[in-house]
Structure 1
Amino acid sequence: MKKLAGLYLVIDPSQEHESLLNKLKAALKGGVDIVQIWDHWPENQSKEAKLKFIKRAKELVMDFQVPMLMNQDWRLALETGLDGVHFDRLPADFPTIQAKLKDQYIGLTVTNDMEAVLMAEQNGLSYISFCSVFPSPSVESCDIVQPESIKKATKISNMPIFLSGGINQKNLEQLKELPFHGIAVISGILNEADPEAAAKKYKEKLQY
């Protein structure tokens, strides 16, 4: 499996699905490298509706040869044949789950706690994502990550590092002195009038 890097788009399935899929296609045209489905479904969303949405989203990303991951719900990822799972926290029975996710990407959200980074390294995860580098309403549960924490992670792990939380076109430049392999974005692409153009701008700024 190739190491993940670049522009990581998190899509929010609580949004109207037809519109969201159109935005996803545009963002893929703009150069998105990885897609994650956030485990944030509309209240009382049926299993059938979830499966239908994932199938359509998966068809889009396959056209662009981009990996798609599921947030937290590893069972749904397996059932729909996605490329992996991103965990906000590792389940208590993670060793059992990891065995079922063989040959798939597994990522983990981390903050300033180096124990979590070390745990990800010891378990051979695919990447870690620091949250939150800037204040963001979509990541209220995350602490603000200190730059030193990101630098420390490179000393105890060789995993790709992603940065997430409140990243936009204006503040991205503030991160260029930090060691990272990609950024995760939600509203910075999905809330733009032209998601394709927004994705292209992020890609250009990532070419340090």
Structure 2
Amino acid sequence: MEIRGKAKRNMGSGIYLIVDPAMDESILMNKLNLCLSEKLAAVQIWDNFKVNQNIIELINRICEQCHAKNIPVLINNRWELLNNSLLDGVHFDDIPKDYTSIVRSVIHPFISGLTCNNDLTHVEWASKNKLDYISFCSIFQSQTANSCEIVNFRTIHHTSKNYGLPIYLAGGIKPENLHRLDELKYTGIAVVSGIMSSDAPNESIKKYAHKLNNL
């Protein structure tokens, strides 16, 4: 497994898929394989591992599948896993306490992102520390994003106008309400249950992608 000195992959536009590692592993890998038949911006592994789960083994299986399509894989919060796995980056749910030390500790370049809300200090911090992207949560009411406040569209307008950060939108986004985002400038959408709860997740991706064809 080659890690040290590996090149930094780039995130794309469109659908940023989030997967739950607590899902039955065979089901998870089969669904991920179907998803990878469609265009994805990136894949994030939610920090929701089961007790006694072989975390590194599962992460590397997911990475190997995604990397075959040159799709980057990020971990939710657990940045310390970057050094002993094939992961490409980390998504922080909140501003980390000592990001400078984290950057020094990781032995290769990595993608970094941050969840933002109506508090623009998060956006300002992400911009100052040169993160690769931010994700606004929650755009709409959502069971999987129930810890996020609803983001005011004015906050997103201000951010897209005044900061050069790629913006992903998360929380309660469905193909049938995507038209409500037409007034916003954004790079892509982060989706969990809207895709992975489907028996045909690739078909769900197609429905989202059809609405996102202007990205």
TM-score normalised according to structure 2 size: 0.91
Q: What is the alpha-carbon root mean square deviation over aligned residues?
A: 1.3
Q: Where do 5+ consecutive residues of structure 2 fail to align?
A: 1-7
In the alignment, the residues of structure 2 paired with residue 4 and residue 104 of structure 1 have an alpha-carbon distance, to the nearest angstrom, of 15
Q: CA deviation at 1:133?
A: 0.1
- Are 1:66 and 2:71 an aligned pair? yes
Partner of 1:178: 184
Q: Please point out which of 41, 49, 52 is paired with 1:45.
A: 52
Corresponding letter in the other structure for 2:52: Q
Count of aligned residue pairs for this structure pair = 205
In the alignment, the residues of structure 2 paired with residue 192 and residue 81 of structure 1 have an alpha-carbon distance, to the nearest angstrom, of 27
After TM superposition, list the pairs within 5 Å mapping 1:50-199 onto structure 2.
50-101=55-106, 103-199=109-205
Q: Please point out which of 12, 15, 22 is paired with 2:20.
A: 12
Q: CA deviation at 1:17?
A: 1.0
Deviates more, 1:73-82 or 1:63-72: 73-82
Q: Aligned residues: percent identity?
A: 39
Which protein has the bigger helix share?
A: 1
> Contact (CA 8 Å) 2:11, 2:41: kept in 1 or not?
no
In the alignment, the residues of structure 2 paired with residue 62 and residue 80 of structure 1 have an alpha-carbon distance, to the nearest angstrom, of 13
Q: CA deviation at 1:99?
A: 2.7
Q: CA deviation at 1:141?
A: 1.2
In the alignment, the residues of structure 2 paired with residue 86 and residue 114 of structure 1 have an alpha-carbon distance, to the nearest angstrom, of 18
Which structure is richer in relative contact order (CA contacts within 8 A, separation 6 or more)? 1
Q: Please point out which of 28, 31, 37 is paired with 1:23.
A: 31
TM-score normalised according to structure 1 size: 0.94
